[in-house]
Structure 1
Amino acid sequence: MSHDPVAALGFDELVPPQTVNRRSAREVFVTDHARLGAHEFAIAVRIAHDHPLWSDQQAPWHDPVAMVEAFRQAFVVVRHEYLDVRRGTPSAVQQVSLAVPGLGAFRADGTSPLRGVIKVRVTERDGTFDIAGDFLVGREPAMTLSFGSILFPRESYREIRSYQRARRAGDVGAAGDVKPVDPELVGRRDPANVVIGPAVRPDRYPLVVDRSHPSFFDRDYDHIPASLLIEAMRQSALHSAARSGLRTGEAALTRAELDFGIFVEIDVPAECVVAVSGGPDALTASVGIDQAGVRVASGTLELTGLHP
């Protein structure tokens, strides 16, 4: 009988936090991993049903966006455990794409974790890594994802970040305190997980950046992490989509095509601008993150109304 490395993956024990560049075990999703071929890998993941960020939603579903973080962790495992990339090598996400073919695999019962296997293929060229694959729950395809990222030599990263910080900080004043919007307006329960403030102009929302947030800032960052930017895009889209009849507490992000340009500074004001189109059950949102007069991230989201 042939050995199936995917079937042999376990879900019982999480890998040590440092394996996925986390500090807290609460933020670790990877439980096991295996090499399937020269450029193909399988990573088992488990996301707790009561995770303080990724279970904090009104809809009765595991949050598909949690898989962006799970996929990031899978990428960390692959590059360090199998591709001989030195730990601590700076990296940056440049593109993220995801698509959910159906939401059945994400249905939650309130007590069971979301668990499944990420199967990925990796392409490396000139310091960039493209990683693409599928998230499977049992045998059911639940999501397709892809990341494009770049790795930096340490000294190059320090030089780039020093230049960008100096230039951006010189353009505008420091970021002030922004009060978050009501959680219900963006499909959340806990105010601590709201990352946008009231619109400063129609469909333009300032970012709320809480460096003490246990999920977004589980490790040291000298910039706003992509996970917070994606959440700001989603929350901005939900807030604006409510005017089109979308029930924000019963909607899921089912597709995204996102590009990230230069790093987004933590201590400089940033805003998410959004334009939505479509009906009450399915909307498309064009989103962008602006900082100091520069569009630093942009893309398209699709939101689907849920009908349990």
Structure 2
Amino acid sequence: MRESTIHPAVAALSFDRPVTPAEVNRKSPAEVFATDAARLAADEFAVAVRLPHDHALWSDRRAPWHDTLTVVEAFRQALVLVRYRYLEVAAGTPSGVQQMEFAVGDPAVFRAAPGEPLECVLIMRVTRSPIGDGLLDIAGACTTPRGHGMTFSAGSVVMPRGVYDEIRAYQRSRKRPGDAGPVAAGRATAGPVDPAAVGRRDPRNVVVGRPAEVSGRYPLVVDRTHPSFFDKSYDHVPGTLLLEAARQSVLLAAAEAGPAAVTRCRLSFATFVELDALCECSVTVERGPRSVTGSVGFHQYGERIAEGELELSRLE
């Protein structure tokens, strides 16, 4: 049987040290997973990443598996790195994800070896969308030493700082203060749920609270000092926090406290989630023999501003 050929540029990728934080829009080196990159074709790229084994957020789990959402963060960093190194987009340029989707083939490839990071290669195709200036279409796959890990796709928009500031000023001007809901010191008034209920150990990594009024709608708990979600300054709730809130909301709605991995996800965003107003995640769940599927929506200012679906599979 003929062995598959590995592109020389992929074989030459280094996992020795992370790239500089600025290249992936981060500040702390501890938050950087990308270690190297190469261009394989005009619109195809390879990025080496190391998934940490001792990260304060992504390793805060009760099961010996690397969190599949860590791979999503690695894809985000890989896209920023590709834009910076190969697409002539300056570091720090504002961007946003309009939709994203991923699927995990076999969660077992992410089983964690004690005390060891997991080295992965992300192969990505990044093309400029024909429907608008600054829009990028991303399609990629994650490969681990144990085999195929994940497929990933997303639509992203990149814009000059001045354009971004104008858009955000317009969006905030249309919000009605009376619809903002209760907020106190940057946090929703509901306190965070028990960490064990959402598969966490550290209370600081809990991002949802118990429903205050409507069953099945979980208020976001937004800590602007969190070292991972807010490693840099944001004028909106970052997407990584929203994805984590969706996961935790599904776990709560399903009363699924055992070890589980997000094995499939689809999310779309109509606008940014503001920091200074209550946001809630609504959930309905369907239970299968070994998985739970949750339909989620994010609600703020009386509007549904994001929606999608997550599948959580039990780990053994």
Deviation sequence 1:173-226 (CA, Å, 0-9, x none): 552333100001001110000000012221110000000000000001000000
Indicate the larger mover: 157-166 or 228-237. Answer: 157-166
Amino acid at match of 1:198: R
Amino acid at match of 1:191: P
Whether contact under 8 Å (1:174, 1:267) holds in the other structure is no
Post-superposition shift, 1:2?
9.5
Indicate the larger mover: 163-172 or 199-208. Answer: 163-172
Whether contact under 8 Å (1:285, 1:302) holds in the other structure is yes
Within the alignment, does 1:49 sit opposite 2:57 as a pair?
Answer: no
TM (norm. structure 1) is: 0.95
Large movers: runs of 4+ above 6 Å: none
Report the Cα distance in structure 1 between the residues aligned to 2:288 and 2:38, rounded to whole angstroms: 43
Find the partner of 2:63 among 56, 59, 62.
59
| Equivalence for 1:218 | 231
Find the partner of 1:72 among 62, 72, 76.
76
Find the partner of 1:149 among 148, 156, 173.
156
Post-superposition shift, 1:39?
0.5
| Equivalence for 1:285 | 294
Aligned residue runs from structure 1 range 21-60, under 5 A: 21-60=25-64
Alpha-carbon distance change, 3 to 55 in structure 1, aligned in 2, over 3 angstroms: closer
Report the Cα distance in structure 2 between the residues aligned to 1:135 and 1:51, rounded to whole angstroms: 20
Find the partner of 2:204 among 184, 188, 192.
192
Whether contact under 8 Å (1:15, 1:31) holds in the other structure is yes
Post-superposition shift, 1:106?
0.3
| Equivalence for 1:207 | 220
Find the partner of 1:167 among 157, 171, 174.
174
| Equivalence for 2:254 | 241
Report the Cα distance in structure 2 between the residues aligned to 1:174 and 1:189, rounded to whole angstroms: 27
Post-superposition shift, 1:141?
0.8
Alpha-carbon distance change, 3 to 270 in structure 1, aligned in 2, over 3 angstroms: closer
How many residue pairs align between the two structures? 303
Amino acid at match of 1:180: P
* Secondary structure, aligned partner of 1:104: helix
Deviation sequence 1:19-77 (CA, Å, 0-9, x none): 11100000000111100011100000012100000000111100001111110000001
Report the Cα distance in structure 2 between the residues aligned to 1:75 and 1:120, rounded to whole angstroms: 8
Report the Cα distance in structure 2 between the residues aligned to 1:169 and 1:195, rounded to whole angstroms: 25
Amino acid at match of 1:158: D
| Equivalence for 2:113 | 109
Q: Give me the CA root mean square deviation.
A: 1.6
Report the Cα distance in structure 2 between the residues aligned to 1:158 and 1:85, rounded to whole angstroms: 17
* Secondary structure, aligned partner of 1:239: helix
| Equivalence for 1:89 | 93
Post-superposition shift, 1:166?
2.7
Post-superposition shift, 1:151?
1.3
Whether contact under 8 Å (2:109, 2:146) holds in the other structure is no
Report the Cα distance in structure 2 between the residues aligned to 1:69 and 1:178, rounded to whole angstroms: 27
| Equivalence for 1:272 | 281
* Secondary structure, aligned partner of 2:174: helix
Report the Cα distance in structure 2 between the residues aligned to 1:280 and 1:175, rounded to whole angstroms: 39
Within the alignment, does 1:179 sit opposite 2:179 as a pair?
Answer: no
Report the Cα distance in structure 2 between the residues aligned to 1:232 and 1:179, rounded to whole angstroms: 14
Report the Cα distance in structure 2 between the residues aligned to 1:139 and 1:62, rounded to whole angstroms: 13
Post-superposition shift, 1:112?
0.7
TM (norm. structure 2) is: 0.92
Post-superposition shift, 1:159?
1.4
Q: Unaligned regions of 5+ residues in structure 2, if any?
A: none
Whether contact under 8 Å (1:251, 1:306) holds in the other structure is yes
Amino acid at match of 1:33: A
Report the Cα distance in structure 1 between the residues aligned to 2:6 and 2:26, rounded to whole angstroms: 35
Whether contact under 8 Å (1:96, 1:259) holds in the other structure is yes
Whether contact under 8 Å (1:169, 1:268) holds in the other structure is no
Whether contact under 8 Å (1:168, 1:268) holds in the other structure is no
Report the Cα distance in structure 2 between the residues aligned to 1:218 and 1:182, rounded to whole angstroms: 24
Q: Unaligned regions of 5+ residues in structure 1, if any?
A: none
Alpha-carbon distance change, 97 to 2 in structure 1, aligned in 2, over 3 angstroms: closer
Post-superposition shift, 1:105?
1.0
